[in-house]
Amino acid sequence: MTITVNLTVNGQKVTRQVEARTLLVQLLREHLDLTGTHVGCDTSQCGACVVQVDGVSAKACTLLAAQCEGANVLTIEGLAKDGKLHPMQEAFREHHGLQCGFCTPGMVMSALDIVRRHPSPDEATIRKELEGNLCRCTGYHNIVKAVAAGAKAMRG
């Protein structure tokens, strides 16, 4: 079944004809060429595909494009403004919070969800809240440092 979905992605209105079974991550990567959102496991476990839907984190591999009708989707590509990295991205760069970088978009998007709920997260909170994000390079130590620094920068 072909359906039409209308949604806002990174501030831009988009309309696409897709099959009903199209996942949000497929819409982003294959229809909109936004390949920053990664597919690590495709089984809802790894968090590489995390984006924000209406302000809260969601695994884009476990969400139909159809379910996002009218929604406001934010991906990693939507964070930098005028060529300047978002404070959370800058913190990941500064604290070497990535090795191969595959998990990084999901980590950064989850980090923003952590800051939404815990504006000043301590280390234990960050580790617990990153439960849904896996890093195969096991760079967790610096990821945790980056999230704390990013949160601090966002508090201003």
Partner 1 sequence: MYDFAYHKPTNLADAAKLIGAKKDGRLLAGGQTLLPTMKQRLAQPSDLVDLAGVAELRGIKAEGGGVTVGAMTTHYAAHTSPELRKAIKALAKLAGGIGDPAVRNRGTLGGSIANADPAADYPAALVGLGATVNTNQRKIAADDFFKGLFETALKPGEIVLSVSFPAPKRAAYRKFANPASRYAIVGVFVAETANGVRVAVTGAGPKVFRATALEQALAKKFAPESLAGASVPAAGLNSDLHASAEYRAHLIGVMAKRAVAAALK
**Positions in the binding site for ligand FAD (CB under 6 A):** 44-45
- 94 or 127, CB closer to partner 1? 127
Does 69 participate in binding partner 1 (rule CB under 8 A)?
Answer: yes
Does 110 participate in binding partner 1 (rule CB under 8 A)?
Answer: yes
Q: Which does 155 bind (CB under 5 to 8 A by kind): ligand FAD, ligand FES, partner 1, none?
A: none
Structure-token pair, residue 132: 């849904």
Restricted to residues 79-108, the positions that interact with partner 1 (CB under 8 A) are none
Of the candidates 83, 115, 42, 3, the one whose C-alpha atom is nearest the C-alpha of residue 146 is 115
What is the total count of residues that contact ligand FES (CB under 6 A)?
A: 22
30 to 27, 36, 110, 119, 134: CA distances (angstroms):
6, 11, 22, 34, 23
Of the candidates 79, 46, 86, the one whose C-alpha atom is nearest the C-alpha of residue 62 is 46
Restricted to residues 46-65, the positions that interact with partner 1 (CB under 8 A) are 47, 50, 56-59, 62-64
Restricted to residues 77-106, the positions that interact with ligand FES (CB under 6 A) are 98-103
Q: Which does 58 bind (CB under 5 to 8 A by kind): ligand FAD, ligand FES, partner 1, none?
A: partner 1
DSSP secondary structure letters along 133-150: ---TT--HHHHHHHHHHH
How many whole angstroms from its chain centre is CA 112? 8
Does 137 participate in binding ligand FES (rule CB under 6 A)?
Answer: yes
| Backbone phi, psi, residue 5, to 5° | -115, 140
